[in-house]
Structure 1
């Protein structure tokens, strides 16, 4: 256990290497590997569930194989639009996507649009499309939970500095003596290692230099990853009950993810903003998604629009 009296040498911490493999000029980033791994796990789970509920394997494979690069492009485009001042004089930087800079809301919007038109082009029935959306909801959550660890490797999408008190109050690092900075870092590290009980490799990776001094930052990537895994578990349980119509899970996903994202986004230091308004884009979109999805679910169940339950579909295809 870490203690304040340890005189720990924080400056000796080295960040984890964010490149998994280098072959000549080719670099394979952990960020890319983790995003692809999440997508492949989502596809595997969808194919397995598709057998139980009557959604063809080849349809799901084509949906993901063509949809994944489109979703990544959508995520990047969304990010670049809101960070245009950063890229307008560095257009080549727009294409370095695996170094970071993907916005999940852009990926979600692109994936839903792609899924709709792809299903329509294949002549998929509305019931099949709704079941695909349900499997997509489960897949989104597990893929996002894994993908957030790419942010961890890049030391991005983190929260603000962990709070500390020197002489009973917060002080800027620039205003402290060396011994006071050591005390502040000790308190920050203790929060991660002793209060959150995080393993050393996560605690160390949260020691990030931004500006002149390095500090420990909140691991918001981890908060969101755990939130998504919790939502994933809830959906797995709900889809075996008789409560949900087919298509409900995509709305539940949007509500669940948006609630978590709204609060976690408030902790982050790298938020995208709407112009100079001071409004965080992700928080505004999260509010819209919660309201729209909640209203859609309520209206659908009140008016019994396509009142086919997920459980009924499972029963129908189990024989």
Structure 2
């Protein structure tokens, strides 16, 4: 059979008794699990201690969820505030609406706090978890498929995404198939993850350069994919471009600056991932006292 279109799921919520099981939430959770699992393997291989990625994730994940929701609500406030809107829906994370920019920014703050507690290098930790983060983003995008949201322009391509009438953007009700931007981003992110793993192994990158490549790789893809979208979110363009496109450009330049700075100031890879003695290791002072005794 030749693919004629991609069908959308009939539903994105299942009920286990009174408990709703939402596909969007499951995609986010699965992404987090994969990111922590892969990050743990890479962190230990780099010289870190088992369990530290999970300990730091306890800080990073909640911060990331709050940051992602804040970014979404602030930039798409018309969905929740104003005449005829219900502000309490701004808290309904399970219905979709997480801005990756806010998630990464505030998630990084949480990760920094966790790294300080664990006495490990923040940029080195970022290098270890970067491939897992973008794989998690690839998995999380499937939540948009279940919710029939954030799709692209109408298309007659064989892989056009079928959207039910009640989920079609105003002005596009007469079309039935649209660009599956969730799929484009998923494939792009997996490709970037492969690039990060290859580059890190080939060049032994350190001091945040893998994370910088992640930033550049993701934003390069997000820029052109965002340009395809027709949702009314951030519908007011800035100099002809959507806000998320401008954000992609600015964040890409930040990633490029981080990569160039790191390569110049800290060529090579770190000799240790730690910034101080670990909880069950004797400090330098205690070690000296012991030898003196």
Give TM class, smaller chain. 0.7 to 0.9
Indicate the residue corresponding to 2:266 in structure 1: 306
Contact in 2 for aligned 1:133/1:250 (Cα 8 Å): yes
Mapping of residues 195-274 of structure 1, within 5 Å: 198=159, 206-209=162-165, 210=168, 211=170, 212-270=173-231, 272-273=233-234
Q: Which of 101, 104, 107 is matched with 1:108 structurally? A: 104
Whole-angstrom CA distance in 1 between matches of 2:53 and 2:8: 42
Shift of 1:217: 0.5
Contact in 1 for aligned 2:8/2:146 (Cα 8 Å): no
Indicate the residue corresponding to 2:245 in structure 1: 283
Say whether residues 1:45 and 2:45 are aligned partners: no
Indicate the residue corresponding to 1:25 in structure 2: 18
**TM-score (norm: length of structure 2):** 0.81
SS of residue paired to 1:225? helix
5+ long unaligned stretches in structure 1 = 163-187, 193-197, 315-319
Contact in 2 for aligned 1:255/1:290 (Cα 8 Å): yes
Mapping of residues 99-138 of structure 1, within 5 Å: 99-122=95-118, 124-125=119-120, 128-138=121-131
Whole-angstrom CA distance in 1 between matches of 2:73 and 2:42: 35
Q: CA RMSD in A?
A: 2.6
Shift of 1:271: 6.1
Higher helix share: 1
Mapping of residues 63-102 of structure 1, within 5 Å: 63-88=56-81, 89-102=85-98
Whole-angstrom CA distance in 2 between matches of 1:289 and 1:213: 36
Shift of 1:2: 5.2
Q: What count of residue pairs does the alignment treat as equivalent? A: 264
Indicate the residue corresponding to 2:255 in structure 1: 293
Q: 1:65 to 1:118 in 2, by over 3 A?
A: closer
Mapping of residues 142-221 of structure 1, within 5 Å: 142-162=135-155, 188=156, 191-192=157-158, 198=159, 206-209=162-165, 210=168, 211=170, 212-221=173-182
SS of residue paired to 1:309? coil
5+ long unaligned stretches in structure 2 = 274-293
Shift of 1:14: 7.2
**TM-score (norm: length of structure 1):** 0.75
Indicate the residue corresponding to 1:195 in structure 2: none
Higher mean C-alpha deviation, range 210-219 or range 104-113: 210-219
Deviations 1:88-117 (A, max 9, x none): 241221121121111111111111121122
Q: 1:139 to 1:154 in 2, by over 3 A?
A: same
Contact in 2 for aligned 1:271/1:280 (Cα 8 Å): no
Shift of 1:233: 0.7
